[in-house]
Structure 1
């Protein structure tokens, strides 16, 4: 039952977003909950991880290094050029860059499972990029938009440390000591994460309700292009390095699916509510595209 609800995440996100667009007053008062909700999501990620998960880095260092390089080079670069191509405003450009500069999203692990990719490898890639994002994301943001708007990179680094690293670490520690109890309830943590991210998306849609109609088409096209570049680029470049189909699928999913919740939080905290909109819409879209791709790949033989 819980797995069925989790898999249908894109549907719940779309339905709740429509509700929040029609009746923004339902959610705008919960704006202050965005950061606590993301902290909770990162805690839920950490509590599903074991110390052994980190040992996988030593087993496949090359493909993990390749994925990390693609994550932090291809995605922000694509975000920048796509934003310029669709002539997005400065606020939306900031939001797109933040989406491109953050780590891989935890939803990629679910999509990897559905696509019959390498789930263990996907989890490891997410862990590595998440930890690196603490330092990399603020300075990538500074590099791409520092000439356009002020970017408090040092303050962003501390925020990511508090929002990402500490809750993940607490989750890992709790899992280490209470693994038998927690292991049986991992689906519950996944469900709570889904509910939290859907609520974050709804709040951002509600806050930006009066602006969405005028920017929806160009922003949506930009987000779709950005996501496709990540998925396609990840697969093709991995294939060019001689990896098998299962590994290529894993890399494509990991590169194309971002921790857009973190992008939303950073945008709200350091830039503007409008800058948070690309992250909110990307959260919906990358799960839709990922689910479609997973459905296609799951029927193919590797």
Structure 2
């Protein structure tokens, strides 16, 4: 792959996406977590604990090659994104909860993502054309810079120039969506000679992972007494991952285009799966006395 794309374009693309996320966040999105700890704790447990276990089990079940296995674990460790908010809104979920979960999970992923990837690298011991792949301290720092710094910059800008941030919110969201498509296309194009083989290898596992994630994200909170609207929000947050993070880290940080394939294939299957599950779980009418949104979403 062209080195300029790897070293400049992909990290810049991810920075724009995370900056857009920061523009949509306020301090109250984090304060809301402390006011509603139960639902947040359940959703984060699903995201941080349940999903990696599911991905690990599926990887062993499908006997994926090591490099693709690490790619699946990288995908499972990636946080949710703005797309989860959209699907939550479409299916009458608590969008305010989605915003809070995305905010907290994005921050936590700076720690949890390197830990999960290092575990996967140690367990599966992948080797690509450049030799062994590793996530050393310098690369962990790069993950921190790619994921967290743009979010903080966006939040600061919203704080000190609220009107400007609100005007920029929609254009940045549109740009982020376009950039996400670009990142996926780059990830697929990088391995275009092997795309058909990889789709066969990871198509079923990524679709099944997405289905299990969405289902567990709804079913577990409901079994633990969470109201339907919050459970729908949890489903979308847990089931819809920020594949741009996984693709960018795989290609530009870990230097492996093969490792990006699961996230790229997942990005294609994610939306139809989320639409299907969202339609199924929202078919039951939400009771009138169902818990309201945790707090209104700021425009």
Q: Deviations over 1:28-69 (max 9, x none)?
A: 974441111001110011012122222111111111111111
Aligned length: 277
1:76 CA drift (Å)? 1.3
In 1, Cα distance between equivalents of 2:161 and 2:278:
33
In 1, Cα distance between equivalents of 2:121 and 2:242:
19
* 2:56 corresponds to 1:72: no
* 2:250 corresponds to 1:274: no
> Relative to 1, partners in 2 of residues 1:183 and 1:299: Cα closer, same or farther, differing over 3 Å?
farther
In 1, Cα distance between equivalents of 2:185 and 2:28:
36
> How do 1:244-255 residues align onto structure 2 when only pairs under 5 Å count?
244-255=227-238
* 2:263 corresponds to 1:287: no
Query: Normalising by structure 1, what TM-score?
Result: 0.86
Classify the secondary structure of the residue corresponding to 1:104: coil
Give the aligned partner of residue 8 of structure 1: none
1:297 CA drift (Å)? 5.0
- Relative to its length, the structure with more helix (as a share) is 1
In 1, Cα distance between equivalents of 2:12 and 2:43:
29
> Relative to 1, partners in 2 of residues 1:270 and 1:30: Cα closer, same or farther, differing over 3 Å?
closer
The correspondence for 1:192, drawn from 170, 175, 189, is 175
Give the aligned partner of residue 163 of structure 2: 180
In 2, Cα distance between equivalents of 1:74 and 1:297:
20
Give the aligned partner of residue 168 of structure 1: 151
Query: Normalising by structure 2, what TM-score?
Result: 0.87
> Relative to 1, partners in 2 of residues 1:291 and 1:216: Cα closer, same or farther, differing over 3 Å?
same
Q: Indicate if the aligned counterparts of 1:46 and 1:171 stay in contact, CA closer than 8 A.
A: yes
> Relative to 1, partners in 2 of residues 1:153 and 1:122: Cα closer, same or farther, differing over 3 Å?
farther
* 2:245 corresponds to 1:262: yes
Give the aligned partner of residue 15 of structure 1: none
Comparing 102-111 with 160-169, greater Cα deviation is found at 102-111
Q: CA RMSD in A?
A: 1.9
